[in-house]
Amino acid sequence: MKYYIIAGEASGDLHGANLMKALYKQDINAEIKFWGGDLMQAVGGTLVSHYKDRAFMGFFEVLRNLNKVLVFIKFCKNDIELFQPDVIIFIDNSGFNLRIAKWAKQQGFKTNYYISPQVWASRASRVKGIKRDVDKMFVILPFEKEFYKKFDYLVEFVGHPLIDAIADRKLSNIEGFRAEHHLGDKPIIALLPGSRKQEITKMLAVMLSLVDDFSDYKFVIAGAPSQDFSFYQQIIGDKEVSFIDNKTYDLLSVSTAALVTSGTATLETALFKVPQVVCYKGGFISYQIAKRIITLKYISLVNLIMDKEVVTELIQNDFTKTNLKKELTKILDAKNREKLFLDYFELEKKLGGKGASEKTAKLIIEGLTE
């Protein structure tokens, strides 16, 4: 079978890579072309476009780069027509993927979506288009099945692929990891400022402002695979911090606490049982638009899944040095940490256990042979 997979961002690359492994395992004749990143490329198949070339964040940023986006969309459609896949698999990345899905369905291609667009967060009216354009939807958050049911759209809950990604990772020797990166003996506070340049610029400077106030701790930045160290260096300046590129899981496994930009990383941090403060600050125009259309009580996946405030969220104007210092002090306190750990264990139970990638691959292949 021929599979065409479209993923965006680092998280889509991770989940796309695990799905590709499962497809190759279950379909020995699988032929895969994909839009993704280094992790998907390492599995095999043919890379069409790397996500870092189209990493536009926020409404205003997308509008500013609209011509580039339209060129990518046209190129993608042409490439699909040349490849003639048996199925197109969309992974998250709704702004791009829903446009392609609408066109693909009109052209008679089979369309599957893995990791739902966040229509439950804003503009739920998009479900009408999704029902029309997507043959099968595979969701990874427990509340999504009930959400879609309200619209008479039956979807499959397959569990969260992060469970597999974390369980299957190659374990590092903790002492060896510390020594290799010259981390010393101080407890570590991990800084996860995101993967896009716009968010890293806004997040990291405020996170780094705490370094001198917590001198008993070692601050370590988790570098995103899509960015070079030279970009971070401009923000770091002369701050006494360490930088570790593309080894976020290893870093979380040795961390005492973390400051995390909202996104998939909040869930990853929780699954490693690391107390965290969730941070987010967008561009002024993008934030003003988002504030008016997003209907959620929370922005972090941890709080959304648990339907209560498990981790503190510092959003936009609340994301200040004063507030961040106060919340970091709280999660370093033993009493607060104990309750947080109990919530984290409950969260993991809700996510449905291992096997998301295997289940999704199986359902995709079954759909092709029906």
Number of compact structural domains in the chain? 2
Q: Does 196 map to a domain? A: yes
* pLDDT at residue 64, rounded to an integer: 59
62 found inside a domain: yes
Mark whether 76 and 177 lie in a shared domain: no
Closest CA to 270 of 174, 349, 182, 330: 349
19 and 74 inside one domain: yes
The answer as to whether 164 is a domain residue is: no
Do 89 and 19 form a contact (C-beta atoms < 8 A)? Answer: yes
CA distances from 139 to 70, 136, 146 (A): 28, 10, 11
Higher pLDDT among residues 370 and 311, named by residue: 311
User: Tens of pLDDT along 211-256?
Assistant: 999 999 999 999 988 788 999 999 999 999 999 998 999 999 999 9
Q: What's this model's pTM, rounded to 2 decimal places?
A: 0.79
Residues 242 and 99 in one domain: no
What's the mean pLDDT when you consider all of the chain? 89
3-state helix, strand, coil in the chain (%, to 5): 50, 20, 30
Whether 268 is in a domain gets the answer yes
Domain that holds residue 338: 169-350
Judgement on whether residues 305 and 182 belong to the same structural domain of the protein? yes
Q: Say if CB 264 and CB 162 are below 8 A apart.
A: yes
**Same domain as 318, residue 181:** yes
Residues 289 and 328 in one domain: yes
Task: Give the residue, 352 or 296, on which the prediction is more confident.
Answer: 352
CATH number, position 35: 3.40.50.2000
Residue 136 sits in the same domain as residue 275:
no
**Residues 116 and 37 reside in one and the same domain:** yes
User: 114 and 185 share a domain?
Assistant: no
CB atoms within 10 A of CB 189: 23
User: In this structure, are 82 and 194 located in the same domain?
Assistant: no
Confidence of residue 62 (pLDDT cuts 50, 70, 90): low
Grade residue 48 by pLDDT with cuts at 50, 70 and 90: very high
Of the pLDDT bands very low, low, confident and very high (cuts 50, 70, 90), residue 63 is low
Distance CA 226, CA 231 (A): 11
Position with higher pLDDT, 23 vs 93: 23
| Judgement on whether residues 141 and 198 belong to the same structural domain of the protein | no
- What pLDDT does 292 receive? 47
Q: How does pLDDT run across 22-37, given as a tens digit for each residue? A: 999 999 999 999 999 9
- Residue 63 carries which DSSP code? H
